[in-house]
Amino acid sequence: MREVLRSNDPVVMSFAQSVLQDEGIVHFVADQHMSIAEGSIGAFPRRLLVDDSRWEAARTSLADAGLGEWLYNDGPKA
């Protein structure tokens, strides 16, 4: 899986998940429990992961939905 979005904002994360679900893109939220454990002070952002084969489609869908500023770019996959 590959990270497509990172945010401390639960509203942004929820909206991003909704966009991906509507597009039929399977996703996983990493660090969700860490964020809760640290008391929601924002020290640990949640990461939205998608399958490598759907990464470009996920980025396009999220950018089209207005979430471009939260997209995570980890460079080319080796």
- The pLDDT, as a whole number, for residue 42 is 59
How much is the pTM?
Answer: 0.81
Residue-level pLDDT at 38: 58
Q: Do residues 5 and 16 make contact, with C-beta atoms less than 8 angstroms apart?
A: yes
The residue among 51, 35, 39, 40 whose CA lies nearest residue 1 is 51
Per-residue model confidence as pLDDT tens digits over 10-28: 899 999 999 999 999 999 9
Q: Does domain 2-70 have CATH number 3.30.390.10?
A: no
Return the domain boundaries, the chain: 2-70
| HEC per residue, the chain | CEEEEEECCHHHHHHHHHHHHHCCCCEEEECHHHHHHCCCCCCCCEEEEECHHHHHHHHHHHHHCCCHHHECCCCCCC
